[in-house]
Amino acid sequence: MSFQSKATFSSRVTKSKKPPAFKRSSSGLNPYSALARRKPIQRSATKPETVGHEDEDHFGDRLDDMGLVRALATDLTLRDVPQAMVYVRMKMWSELPERAGMNSVRIAEVLNYRVDMPPAIVVSHLQALLSSPTAVEKEIAEMMRKGAIRKIVIETRGHIGELLILAKDLEQMIEKSSLAGPLQEKFIAVLHANPTALKLPRSQLSDEDVQGLMRAGFLTLWTPGTTFDSFSRPGDGSRGTATSLESISKAASGSMSAVGGENAVFANGGGGGPKPSGTREIYSLALPNAGPFLKVLSNARAHLISLLSKSKYREAPESMLRQRWDGGIAANDFATVARRNRGEFAGVLPGRTRKWKQFYGLSFEFILGECVGAGLVEVFNTGSVGRGIRALH
């Protein structure tokens, strides 16, 4: 019996090759499916699509100039320099807002920083505040001779380093310092005996007194050299040195002054050997924490100029520049409070702005007076949008 394979019936289920009647082609549902697909058009990315709020310039043309503002102070009670100094100090810091956006540690840092700053102002600020700079200089010299005002000059800071402080405030700083009682009385007596002196010779103080005053920050060793000011014109930094072009050009030909004076190399930091034996040590009057004080002023000046640079012609209305300095913080009006309660954006918190993070709340009025006195900006009347501010450098 032989076995042969034969095609018999199988119960295996096989799928039909024909499409079912209920399945339709997708082309019948969408008439655009047969069209060829194309890639989206690539647009040029040379210009940004969105512009930040701070970079917007709402004025495409120059502001109308109806004349410069001679004095920034609007208080008619300011009649002398001491009153103006108190006025500037009162306007220096902004009040801490209720919703500052800062924790207790940061708030303590800001308040302690303000307390540690010396109660001094820059001389140029008074010239911008009052109407007559010449009268201000004469009054400052007269008040210094009477012993009511003391001038402190920081040599390495150029024009920004000329500070004024009331004599009573300086005496209070000395009394609150860590100096011993006899040294405090001695130093105050030396200041009374030299009301206009910017430097003190070595003969008036002992070695221990000098060391104590230098540790407390009231004295620094004076070394003649080139002053530095980031806002001064080219060539201004060499004024006051023995080898400056101004002093050499006025000297007689063939004299020692024509080559920089005696010991010119050592006076300007040169030479590898010791200083000549004839040189005497001279100490400059200083103020504690004057360095951080001048540093924050210099940075704040540069920041205000950068805000003006965002405008096309480097000028802007005072109200707009004030908003830029404050950083677009949330207002306290009813509409802003309502938006904030609804969870909508109503401006940033003050603690997140540069005014409070880097400048510890310096007010706009104070830094504007600093820039006007330094010759960096000028204030003019527009006749339509209030006062305008224009950068000069």
Percent of the chain with pLDDT over 70: 63
Q: To which H or E segment does residue 164 belong?
A: strand 162-166
- Considering only 8-22, 102-116, 191-205, 360-374, which range has the smallest mean pLDDT? 8-22
Give burial (CB, 10 Å; 0-12/13-18/19+) of 87.
Answer: middle
Taking every pair of Cα atoms in the chain, the longest distance, rounded to a whole number of angstroms, is 145
Residues 6+ apart with CB under 8 A from 342: none
**Res 17: pLDDT:** 56
Cα–Cα dist 332/322, whole Å: 16
Q: Residue 85, Cβ neighbours under 10 Å: how many? A: 24
Residue numbers of the domain that contains 137: 81-229+279-391
* In the predicted structure, residue 244 carries a pLDDT above the cut 50: no
Cα–Cα dist 326/329, whole Å: 6
pLDDT one-digit tens code per residue, 277-335: 444 678 889 999 998 999 999 999 999 999 999 888 899 999 999 989 988 765 555 66
Does any domain span residue 12? no
Q: What is the mean pLDDT of residues 77-98?
A: 88
Confidence grade of residue 227 (pLDDT, cut at 50, 70, 90):
very low
Does any domain span residue 256? no
**Res 13: pLDDT:** 58
Residue whose entry in the numeric block shows the structure tokens 């940033």: 348
Chain-centre distance for alpha carbon 312 = 22
Cα–Cα dist 199/281, whole Å: 10
Contact assessment for residue 109 and residue 358, using Cβ atoms and an 8 Å cutoff = no
**Res 36: pLDDT:** 57
**Res 156: pLDDT:** 64
Percent of the chain with pLDDT over 90: 38
Does any domain span residue 62? no
Q: Where are the alpha helices (DSSP H) in 102-232?
A: 104-116, 123-129, 133-146, 167-176, 181-193, 207-216
Q: What is the mean pLDDT of residues 80-102?
A: 89
Q: What is the mean pLDDT of residues 350-359?
A: 89
Q: What is the mean pLDDT of residues 146-175?
A: 87
Does any domain span residue 353? yes
Q: Where are the beta strands (DSSP E) in 35-114?
A: none
**DSSP of 202-261, one letter per residue?**
GGGS-HHHHHHHHHHTSEEE--------TTSPTTGGGTTSTT-HHHHHTSPTTSSGGGT-
Q: 339 — phi, psi (to 5°)?
A: -65, -40
pLDDT greater at residue 44 or residue 158:
158
* Angle, alpha carbons 176-180-181 (nearest 5°): 80
Does any domain span residue 255? no
Does any domain span residue 63? no
Q: Residue 296, Cβ neighbours under 10 Å: how many? A: 17
Buried b (16+ CB within 10 A) or exposed e, 373-389: bbbbbbbbebeeeebbb
Residue whose entry in the numeric block shows the structure tokens 């009301």: 195
- Considering only 145-154, 162-171, 263-272, 384-393, which range has the smallest mean pLDDT? 263-272
pLDDT greater at residue 271 or residue 147:
147
Does any domain span residue 126? yes
* In the predicted structure, residue 238 carries a pLDDT above the cut 50: no
**DSSP of 342-370, one letter per residue?**
TT----B-GGGSHHHHTSTTB-HHHHHHH
pLDDT greater at residue 368 or residue 78:
368
Does any domain span residue 145? yes
pLDDT greater at residue 284 or residue 39:
284
Q: What is the mean pLDDT of residues 108-134?
A: 90
Would you say how long the chain is, in residues? 393
* Total domains, the chain: 1
Distances (CA, A) of 55 to 202, 249, 308, 321, 363: 55, 48, 10, 12, 22
* In the predicted structure, residue 269 carries a pLDDT above the cut 50: no
**Res 245: pLDDT:** 46
**DSSP of 282-348, one letter per residue?**
EEEE--TTHHHHHHHHHHHHHHHHHHHTTSTTSEEEHHHHHHHHHTSB---SHHHHHHHHTT----B
